[in-house]
Amino acid sequence: MQNDIQEVLITREQIQQKVEELGQQLSKEYEGRNPLVICILKGAFIFMSDLVKEITVPIELDFMAVSSYGASTRSSGEVKIIKDLDSSVEGRDVLIVEDIIDSGLTLSYLVDVLERRKVNSVKIVTLFDKPARRTVDLQADLSGFVLPDAFVVGYGLDYAEKYRNLPYIGVLKPEIYTT
Ligand code: XMP
Ligand code: MG
């Protein structure tokens, strides 16, 4: 698996440090409140589990799965809810935990859905951000690392469902996409 990686962009230690910082900021932000933290599956599962351990206010968790790239590295532009929330979000302070924001389509759709369900507030934390690739006006409230316009894998992120278990963020060798 490691042999398929051309370059490590962000190390395990850098990620760990950043996740701690984000957790501290969110603990301040939600002081005295009880947010509902929503993990966007599957990519955000590792970030979610590391992040919530750094949050010191009481939280509840839920999970949502939306359609993504499949085996391709480009967004289809279509957003579909594959797994919806178990809980009601009405009146809740909702924190969306996302792995990476690319075009922004997925999250702008989800924020819309949640607002129609009458949340009290909705904020977005993303570990990685590719602002250069935005096609809609969507910004995270908190973001960890800005990435260049390259397809990355690891720390939850996949290519054709592989590489999610790499503990760092890397770029695949170009021949991996073509074989
Ligand atoms: P949009 O374009 O809606 O996309 O902001 C967000 C989703 O796209 C996936 N994505 C990636 N997945 N490496 C990945 O493994 C990448 O470089 C990458 N860029 C975008 C990701 O699933 C995210 O939830
Ligand atoms: Mg994904």
pLDDT at 76 over 60: no
Q: Using one digit for the tens of pLDDT, what is the confidence trace for 150-170?
A: 999 999 999 999 999 999 999
CA dihedral of 135, 48, 150, 163, whole degrees rounded to 10 = -140
CATH code for the domain of 133: 3.40.50.2020
Q: Looking at ligand 1, which residue's alpha carbon is closest to its atom 4?
A: 102
Specify the pLDDT at position 78.
64
Rounded to an integer, what distance in angstroms lies between the CA atom of residue 175 and that of residue 168? Answer: 20
Which atom belonging to ligand 1 lies closest to the Cα atom of 147?
17
Instruction: Look at residues 88, 87, 95 and name the one whose alpha carbon lies nearest to residue 30.
Output: 95
Residue 104 included in any domain: yes
H helix runs in 56-173, sequence order? 105-116
Instruction: Collect residues with CB below 5 Å from ion ligand 2.
Output: 43, 68
Instruction: Look at residues 176, 156, 145, 159 and name the one whose alpha carbon lies nearest to residue 50.
Output: 156
Q: Using one digit for the tens of pLDDT, what is the confidence trace for 33-65?
A: 999 999 999 999 999 999 999 999 999 999 999
Q: Look up the domain containing 40 and give its range.
A: 12-71+79-150
**Number of domains, the chain:** 1
Specify the pLDDT at position 93.
98
- Alpha carbon of 27 to those of 4, 52, 174: distances in Å? 37, 10, 40
| Interface confidence (ipTM) of the complex | 0.93
Query: Any idea which ligand is nearest the CA of 99?
Result: 1
Specify the pLDDT at position 80.
87
Which amino acids bring their CB within 6 angstroms of ligand 1? Answer: 43, 68-69, 75, 98-106, 151-153, 157-158
Residue 56 included in any domain: yes
Residue found under tokens 């910082």 = 21
Residue 169 included in any domain: no
Rounded to an integer, what distance in angstroms lies between the CA atom of residue 54 and that of residue 175? Answer: 38
Residue 3 included in any domain: no
Residue 171 included in any domain: no
Give the CA radius of gyration of the chain.
16
Q: Looking at ligand 1, which residue's alpha carbon is closest to its atom 17?
A: 151
**pLDDT band (50, 70, 90) for residue 71:** very low
102 is catalytic: yes
